[in-house]
Amino acid sequence: MPERELVALTLQGTLPAFRVIVERTEKLVIHIISGLVPGREDQEDLTQETFLKAFQHLRHFQFDAKLSTWIARIAYNTCVSHLRKKKIPLSYGNEVADMSTPDNGTDPFSQLTEKVVVEILQEAIDRLQPLHKTLITLFHQEALSITEISHITGLPEGTVKSYLYRARRDLRDFLLITYKNREAL
């Protein structure tokens, strides 16, 4: 069902239409929130708050971006407000995102190797500063465009590109240092 139709049905009071919107965007919202806010309980509360705000302000959605981008921006702003209100500095999320690889018929050793690589990469991503972690997640795991990420975060596109470059550089440096040192042991 197209976004415009889901929004129209929701605004007419059809709650199952909003449920579809939530189902389509919840993974993205969870990625953003878990990247910025520590603590599972706060993450769950902020996820609910995000969707409540989206529902309450849906009539203001102008379709100048994708609905998922608009809701992701609400999630991002809700996290930033939460952290400011509680005077909590941006910190690393404690939860590891589900990055399991699909079973593509490869042998078990290859699947295990891929899983180890994914775990190593996720560990490195978790060590990034929260904004860089969020940008990497949105771009590489959620496959959002630079423009969409710019809408979500309110950062200019050039800044998003620059931060993504820095985040990738930091990932590379961490992996090189960490695994070069392990080889020396």
Residues 27-53: what's their mean pLDDT?
91
Q: What is the spatial distance between Cα 165 and Cα 3, in angstroms, rounded to a whole number?
A: 32
Q: What is the spatial distance between Cα 103 and Cα 147, in angstroms, rounded to a whole number?
A: 32
CATH of the domain at 73: 1.10.1740.10
Q: Which residue has the higher pLDDT, 51 or 91?
A: 51
The count of domains in the chain is 1
Predicted structure pTM score? 0.65
pLDDT tens-digit series, residues 49-71 = 999 999 999 999 988 888 999 99
Among all chains, which residue has been given the structure tokens 């579809």?
20
Task: Provide the Cα torsion 53, 48, 98, 181; round to 10°.
Answer: 80
- Taking the alpha carbons at both ends of the chain, their separation in whole angstroms is 56
- Residue partners of 166: CB distance under 8 A and separation at least 6: 132
Q: What is the spatial distance between Cα 25 and Cα 68, in angstroms, rounded to a whole number?
A: 6
Among all chains, which residue has been given the structure tokens 């849906």?
58
pLDDT tens-digit series, residues 103-151 = 444 445 555 566 667 777 888 888 888 889 889 989 988 889 999 999 9
Question: Structural domain of residue 96, as residue ranges?
Answer: 3-184
